Amino acid sequence: MDAPTDDQRILVPFDGEEPPAPAWFEWAMAQRPERHRVTSEGAGIEYLVWGEKGKPGLFLLHGGGAHAWWWAHLAPFFAADWRVAAMSMAGMGGSDWRDSYAIDQHARDMRVVAEAAGLLEAGPVALAGHSFGGAPTATAAADPEGWARQAIIIDSSLDMQHQPSSDRFKPKPRRYFDSLEEGLARFRFMPPQGCDNVFIADMIARKSLAELADGRWSWCFDPSNYANTARLDSRARAIAAPCPLAIVHGDKSWIMSEEVVAGLKRDLPEGTPFVAIPDSEHHVMVDQPLALVAAMRALLESA
């Protein structure tokens, strides 16, 4: 499968206006999360929480260049049965930037957030991580302290081939925009793809932009994050995890090619569930959000 090369600015036609959205999305976004920060290894880490304390914990982790709000339209569908937390990794969203980053440090941040959010009150926590977030999720799942009960890896190859492993990921200057509307017009997914559910993309894009003290706008993402991230063998961590794993991926995902999926099936423990979400590219929570909810519910109940 060839790498995507198109550059789709999917919000340009809306000129800064919010696209119309279906009732399920409006309901989900009306379920406002608790917003918190906790300090982990010197950095303030942002996290969102839904559901009551004392229920089983569900931890949601976003992908690269993203933030906790990528889960805001899905988390409410789990909140009746789970205490749900979504974290913004250091250098992304509302979390502090660091001079350097590491996959295992993101995993340690996850543990700090899980404790602060009360996810561990009912015992070990279920984890779900998308894309770049699959590596910290697998690392947390392999933590010898055993605080994870299961891990759902969503459209992540777990070999870091799309992570900071090539010359493409070099330190970059921060980008600035004169208005929110200009920033929204520049939003696109990485890897590039189109989007039918533009109302989800619009929500994500608005939460990805911050107004600065001088009146300009910029992305909530350290542009040197990838280049300054220490990698590890996340597939080896997944193989070593003592808790059950599951792989969920888009059936049209460039990252999860037939070769990658076959390799994961060969390397991961026998019986590891693999769920392909129909008509979905890499950003499964945008392309097929309700199908992803259904798949995750089934996997959570079966573990």
For the chain, the structural domain boundaries read 23-168+224-302
pLDDT of residue 165: 46
Report how far residue 60's alpha carbon sits from residue 82's, in angstroms, rounded to the nearest whole number.
12
Residues 6+ away with beta carbon under 8 Å from 95: 37, 43, 44, 45, 46, 87, 88, 89
Report how far residue 180's alpha carbon sits from residue 182's, in angstroms, rounded to the nearest whole number.
5
Report how far residue 251's alpha carbon sits from residue 263's, in angstroms, rounded to the nearest whole number.
16
Provide mean pLDDT across the span 132-142: 97
Average pLDDT, the chain: 93
Secondary structure element (H or E) that encloses residue 127, with its range: strand 125-130
Provide mean pLDDT across the span 138-146: 97
pLDDT of residue 166: 46
* pLDDT of 97 over the 50 cut: yes
pLDDT of residue 293: 98
For 57-95, write each residue's pLDDT tens digit. 999 999 999 999 999 999 999 999 999 999 999 999 999
Two structure tokens written together for 178: 């004169």
Give the model's confidence band at 1: pLDDT under 50 very low, under 70 low, under 90 confident, else very high. very low
* pLDDT of 4 over the 50 cut: no
For 32-51, write each residue's pLDDT tens digit. 999 999 999 999 999 999 99
Spell out a b/e string for 114-124, using b for 16 or more CB atoms within 10 Å of the CB, else e: bebbbbbeeeb
**CATH architecture of the region 23-168+224-302:** 3-Layer(aba) Sandwich (3.40)
* pLDDT of 162 over the 70 cut: no
pLDDT of residue 160: 60
DSSP 56-113: PEEEEE--TT--GGGGTTTGGGTTTT-EEEEEPPTTBTTSPP-SSEEHHHHHHHHHHH
pLDDT of residue 169: 60
For 273-294, write each residue's pLDDT tens digit. 999 999 999 999 999 999 999 9
Give the model's confidence band at 303: pLDDT under 50 very low, under 70 low, under 90 confident, else very high. confident
For 170-224, write each residue's pLDDT tens digit. 677 899 999 999 999 999 998 889 999 999 999 999 999 999 999 999 999 999 9
pLDDT of residue 227: 86
pLDDT of residue 204: 98
Task: Count the residues in the chain.
Answer: 303
Report how far residue 101's alpha carbon sits from residue 104's, in angstroms, rounded to the nearest whole number.
9
* 291 touches 277 (CB < 8 A): yes
For 228-256, write each residue's pLDDT tens digit. 998 889 999 999 999 999 999 999 999 99
